[in-house]
Amino acid sequence: MLTRLEILPVPGLPEVGPGDDLAGQIIDACLTGTHTDTAGEVTPPVGLAHHDVLVVSQKVVSKAEGRQRIVDPDDPLAHKPLVLEESVRVLRRRGELIISQTKHGFICANAGIDRSNVAPDVALLLPEDSDRSARRIRDAIKHRTGIEVAVIVADTFGRPWRRGLTDIAIGSAGILPVLDLRGTADAVGRELHVTEVCIVDELAGAAELVRGKADGIAVAVIRGVNDHWFAEGSVAESIVRHPNEDLFR
């Protein structure tokens, strides 16, 4: 069989707070979470299966890990000092927009700090180490259910040259971040050269399509992913590009 994928939103995750057992909440939501729409149609639980890929929103990971910081609710720019604290280098500034390199090596707007989907007096920082966050969730699911999954922590980033944002992976566990096809032959037998495919970013973007920003669906399951893609690897090691090999910094 050729690979066919299903992308399934996971309803039923409760509002996540500091210290919550996020892995347990995700397991419960997968196994029992349903959703009833305005027409009364019910989306049944997604379940949890061997080699599912769970894409988890950065937002709930940060909330569970206590990355909330208190800011002045009446000042829309109150989080800006935090942006500079979380950055190691500012690349561009235009008006209130700061594009910087974060402590993790990500290059993004406002150091990934977010004030949507949180209380007015809260700014939410990125996890300290999203690969570790992903590993913890993956390990807890394996420990408690015996089921081997991969976990991707996803966030919404802009990019230069193209309008619109897409979800990408800021952390991962249990899956190859980049599929290295160099040295394999193409369909006409010619060697493929520059073909390292960033599958965790493609998986994160795919999951965004069913999560939606306004629906509060923080987790999606991608089912059907090639068994060969399940292996150790991290976003920090495989995807974050070293400044020396970067042409746009």
- Interface pattern 71-90 for a copy of itself (x via CB under 8 A): --------------------
Residue 9 in the binding site for a copy of itself (CB under 8 A): yes
Residue 20 in the binding site for a copy of itself (CB under 8 A): no
Please identify, using beta-carbon distances, which residue of 84 and 119 lies nearer to a copy of itself: 119
d(CA 223, CA 178): 18
d(CA 217, CA 141): 19
| Options 24-32, 77-85, 143-151, 204-212: segment touching a copy of itself (CB under 8 A) | 204-212
Closest approach, Cβ 91 to a copy of itself, in A, equals 8
Alpha helical stretches, state H, 19-109: 22-32, 58-64, 80-85
Please identify, using beta-carbon distances, which residue of 33 and 127 lies nearer to a copy of itself: 33
| Options 18-26, 63-71, 128-136, 175-183: segment touching a copy of itself (CB under 8 A) | 175-183
At 122, is the secondary structure helix, strand, or coil?
strand
Closest approach, Cβ 143 to a copy of itself, in A, equals 28
Query: Do the beta carbons of residue 140 and residue 24 sit within 8 Å?
Result: yes
Closest approach, Cβ 146 to a copy of itself, in A, equals 25
Residue 227 in the binding site for a copy of itself (CB under 8 A): no
Residue 183 in the binding site for a copy of itself (CB under 8 A): no
Closest approach, Cβ 36 to a copy of itself, in A, equals 10
| Backbone dihedral angles phi then psi of residue 244, each to the nearest 5 degrees | -65, -30
| Backbone dihedral angles phi then psi of residue 54, each to the nearest 5 degrees | -100, 120
Please identify, using beta-carbon distances, which residue of 86 and 201 lies nearer to a copy of itself: 201
Token pair listed for 137: 């969730």
Buried b / exposed e over 99-129, threshold 16 CB at 10 Å, is: bbbbebebbbbbbbbbbebeeeebbbbbbeb
Please identify, using beta-carbon distances, which residue of 68 and 142 lies nearer to a copy of itself: 68
Query: Do the beta carbons of residue 133 and residue 65 sit within 8 Å?
Result: yes
| Positions in 115-154 near a copy of itself (CB under 8 A) | 115-120
